[in-house]
Amino acid sequence: MPDLRFKPEPAQHTEIPRPKRAEGQWALGYTEPLNKNEQSKKDDDPLNVRDRILYTYSKRGFDSIDPADLRGRFRWMGLYTQRAPGFDGGKTAQLEEEELDDRFFMMRVRTDGQVLDAAALRALGECSTEFARNTADITDRNNIQYHWIDVVDVPAIWERLEGAGLTTVEACGDSPRPFLGSPVAGIAKDEIIDGSPALEEIKRLALNNPEFSNLPRKFKTALTGHPSHDVAPEVNDVSFVGTIHPEHGPGFDLWVGGGLSTNPMLAQKLGVWIPLDQVAEAWAGVAGIFRDYGYRRLRSKARLKFLVADWGKEKFREVLEKEYLGHPLVDCPSPATPLAQGDHVGVHEQKDGKFFIGATPVVGRIDGTTLTALGDLVERYGAVGARLTAYQKLVVIGVDGADTEAFADDLEKIGLTARPSNWRRTAMACTGIEFCKLAIVDTKERARRLVGELEKRFPDLDTAISINVNGCPNACARTQVADIGLKGMLVLDGSGNQVEGFQVHLGGALGLRAGFGRKLRAHKVTSAGLDDYVTNVVTAYLADRTDGEDFAT
């Protein structure tokens, strides 16, 4: 692989019209910071905060932390102040984010599609039980997320995690956020191409590299060589998706500019073929375009999707080829899109004759005790380890055929199941008001109760209906691409009081029917009325569906 730690010399600039108003695009000469976030990043590379955490803040405690680090650069180390207890959803709108700060942190550990062996699972579990009050959520970006972290414990946690090959670096912030990799890379029988070497190279290239530590905003990457497109590639900033060129064989198509939140956009497919050993170079090119041409004036416009929407994919490809790669990309039809994206739940044979087992907690919530117990199971059965999925689930890898039933039974004993109901299988929820300062409503616990209630009301549901519960418009649990997407907000109850509730989006999907759910004005529901609302929607769908008609249709 070529050394790509520094971006290639740009070739001649493509003809890009200079906008009338400065959007903070460095490549067009707008290098002066246009807001306080940009100023902070210019004042000091956020990666430098690591040493201050190790040698100052962890020794002197929370009150010693410089506010610019606390509310800014800490995020580059995967640390984010959690929401102080005692503020309801109404306060979220009334107070500045900082006023909701607790003295404890959320900490995000990135796994980037790597296999977590028994030692890594135990390290994750022990950090949770010793330092995070036994909290641990599996996020939909291949992370483990802790809460209740005290800054004085951060060096000990990092030492434990790094010993297991794990890091929190750039798990938040305006940086290359955790990478989504296929949970079945290298083992699935029907895989087009194993993208693991490319993902490792991207990680080596991207993390701790000042070339990519000051991006306009977050930058989300997904890579899969599996035909089920199991990493939600439509809603990432940059995605590499396995495809087969009629002459060159397996490689990757490049998709750019996907993202959700308040202006959702599906990624645009460039229709190219990139060989495995050139994926990292292409990633660096796309990240470089974002860094150099991305909008930095308004945070709400500072995602790659806005640039891609303004340029169009033809212009984007031209700039990538001419200025960043220095060679043209090979044309190739984009890969066939699956009807639904793979979650890999259940028992499946691998190409080496062993088996993988996809298992699910409820909406990603586990704890340290469970992680440690999973590590013990992996060791006891001689399995290889586990990967996290883009659906808040996990996949155990390398189980002997004779052990699959026993392993699945043991998973049940620790609160995971490889035989979930369709409700549990598809539901996701973001962090919500329990810990997130932007949240308006409770999500994890509300979703857990909803799943339990639906399992009772529709015990034999024969189709998957996904429900994604989000605490605010930011759509961290992908509001707009669920069958039933729920966006947290305050709504009026029957007595005219403001209470926790949701705006409903109906009929969103990824895969073949990829599109955003319809947001019907009238479809707002109180949190208390959610069980009955979903029951009515599902009852109506089941009564009216024709043969083979899924919910999104």
For ligand SF4, the binding residues (CB under 6 A) are 430-432, 436, 438-439, 470-472, 474-476
| Contact present, 280 and 4 (Cβ < 8 Å) | yes
Closest CA to 177 of 202, 150, 149, 146: 202
487, HSE (Cβ side, Cα atoms, 13 Å):
22
Looking at residue 12, what DSSP letter applies?
S
Chain residue whose CB lies nearest ligand SF4: 471
Instruction: Name the residue nearer to ligand SF4 (CB basis): 175 or 470.
Output: 470
Distance CA 105, CA 511 (A): 35
We find the least distance from the C-beta atom of residue 259 to ligand SF4, in angstroms, to be 13
We find the least distance from the C-beta atom of residue 137 to ligand SF4, in angstroms, to be 10
For helices 404-413 and 368-381, what crossing angle results, to 10°? Answer: 160
Instruction: Name the residue nearer to ligand SF4 (CB basis): 192 or 510.
Output: 510
Torsion over CA: 348, 350, 356, 360 (sign): negative
Collect all residues with Cβ–Cβ distance below 8 Å to 242 and sequence separation of at least 6. Answer: 191, 192, 193, 195, 224, 225, 226, 227, 250, 251, 252, 253, 335
Collect all residues with Cβ–Cβ distance below 8 Å to 462 and sequence separation of at least 6. Answer: 422
We find the least distance from the C-beta atom of residue 344 to ligand SF4, in angstroms, to be 24
Instruction: Name the residue nearer to ligand SF4 (CB basis): 363 or 430.
Output: 430
We find the least distance from the C-beta atom of residue 431 to ligand SF4, in angstroms, to be 4
Instruction: Name the residue nearer to ligand SF4 (CB basis): 81 or 196.
Output: 81
Instruction: Name the residue nearer to ligand SF4 (CB basis): 358 or 517.
Output: 517
Instruction: Name the residue nearer to ligand SF4 (CB basis): 105 or 158.
Output: 105
SS3 385: strand
Instruction: Name the residue nearer to ligand SF4 (CB basis): 2 or 90.
Output: 90
Distance CA 298, CA 302 (A): 6
Distance CA 343, CA 152 (A): 38
Instruction: Name the residue nearer to ligand SF4 (CB basis): 182 or 392.
Output: 392
How many residues are recorded in the chain? Answer: 553
Q: What are 472's two structure tokens?
A: 């605010």
We find the least distance from the C-beta atom of residue 428 to ligand SF4, in angstroms, to be 11
We find the least distance from the C-beta atom of residue 438 to ligand SF4, in angstroms, to be 4
Any idea which residue has 């620790």 for tokens?
Answer: 414
SS3 219: strand
We find the least distance from the C-beta atom of residue 29 to ligand SF4, in angstroms, to be 34
Residue spans of alpha helices (H) in 220-352: 279-293, 304-311, 313-319
We find the least distance from the C-beta atom of residue 433 to ligand SF4, in angstroms, to be 7
Instruction: Name the residue nearer to ligand SF4 (CB basis): 14 or 474.
Output: 474
We find the least distance from the C-beta atom of residue 487 to ligand SF4, in angstroms, to be 8
Please name the amino acid found at residue 327. Answer: H
Kindly tell me the burial class for residue 96, based on how many C-beta atoms sit within 10 Å of its own C-beta (0-12, 13-18, 19 or more): exposed
